[in-house]
Amino acid sequence: MPNAHACVWLHGAGLSSKTFAAFCADDPKAVCLDLPGHNGAPRAAQPTVLAFAKALLPSLPKTPDRSALIGRLLGMVAMELAAANHPKNFMVHTQS
């Protein structure tokens, strides 16, 4: 898919980026992130959704095209906050 947008996959609480590794394996535009304090990622100063979102912002793709943020549970809330900081650059998808 040459014109595909970057996809950012974010796991829920108690999981890790390995949760979505199969989705990212063959897609060079796919990014699997770890929430703070998960899978060896540094802990956030406070365990709040806002702190998680702020910690993830530097890891989000810096592309001129829109990116899709895909996740569930706590990961989804953090991604919504991250998308709110750059509303023109991200589409948010809820997976239940």
Q: What is the pLDDT of residue 16?
A: 93
Whether this prediction's pTM lies above 0.75 is answered by: yes
Q: Which helix (H) or strand (E) holds 53?
A: helix 49-56
Q: What is the pLDDT of residue 1?
A: 43
Tokens of 19: 């949760």
Positions in the chain whose pLDDT score sits under 70: 1-4, 63-64, 93-96
Determine the Cα–Cα distance for residues 16 and 12; give it in Å rounded to an integer: 8
pLDDT > 70 fraction of the chain, expressed in percent and rounded:
86
**39 torsion bin: left (phi>0), alpha (psi -120 to 50), beta (else):** left
- Which residues are registered as beta bridge partners of 82? none
